[in-house]
Amino acid sequence: MPFRICFVCLGNICRSPIAEAVMRALLAADGLTDEVQVSSAGTGDWHIGEGADERAVAVLARHGYDASAHRAQQMVADAFADNDLVIAMDRANLAALRKLAPAGEEGKLRLLRDFDPDAPGTDVPDPYYGGDEGFDEVLTMVERACHALLEQVRAELQRD
């Protein structure tokens, strides 16, 4: 059974699709696409079924990632059972996920930047209401954290 990771932000159109696309590419480059599955979701329901924000798609494309097939979905309590890690983009979404998590599933929750040794406990800021530069900053933060996350996933797979 593959190891499963779900990235979560507010609407599932900016930060979490960026993290999903980056992690998918890292796993593919490492030959781990059969061993690790990646998804994303939002704590809110505003964008269900929509594609990623055009600015997120554009910044990803400029850096060789593809999020063109992304469709937003909402995180639900039942999804915890289907994932080994549920990774929030910020502390507000982490708090919402803690409330949503069924009993015994809280241990799967992590904050994305906790994987970045230079930025533990910090948020990936929501770029939605800003300009394109915010999406560039988010991508840089996500790449750093996902590279470190990949190292932890490799270690987890070796234990199994």
- Which CATH number characterizes residue 141's domain? 3.40.50.2300
| Catalytic (active site) residue 15 | yes
| Catalytic (active site) residue 126 | yes
Query: Integer distance in angstroms from the first to the last C-alpha of the chain?
Result: 11
Q: Of 6, 9, 14, 146, which one is the catalytic site residue? A: 9
Measured CA to CA, the distance from residue 4 to residue 31 in angstroms comes to: 15
Q: What is the pLDDT of residue 158?
A: 87
Q: Where are the alpha helices (DSSP H) in 2-131?
A: 15-29, 54-62, 91-100
Residue 160 has pLDDT above 70, yes or no: no
| Catalytic (active site) residue 24 | no
Q: Of 6, 14, 15, 144, which one is the catalytic site residue? A: 15
Measured CA to CA, the distance from residue 66 to residue 2 in angstroms comes to: 22
**Mean predicted confidence (pLDDT) in 48-75:** 97
Tell me, what amino acid is at 52? A
What residue numbers bound the domain in which 31 lies?
3-159
pLDDT, mean over the chain = 96
Measured CA to CA, the distance from residue 129 to residue 115 in angstroms comes to: 26
Q: Is 8 helix (H, G, I), strand (E, B) or coil?
A: strand
Q: What is the pLDDT of residue 159?
A: 77
Q: What is the pLDDT of residue 156?
A: 87
pLDDT tens digits, 2-46 = 999 999 999 999 999 999 999 999 999 999 999 999 999 999 999
Domain total of the chain: 1
Mention every residue, 6+ apart, whose C-beta is less than 8 A from residue 18. Answer: 52, 56, 59, 60, 65, 67, 135, 138, 139, 142
Q: Of 6, 53, 126, 144, which one is the catalytic site residue? A: 126
Torsion of CA 93, 52, 132, 29, to 10 degrees: 90
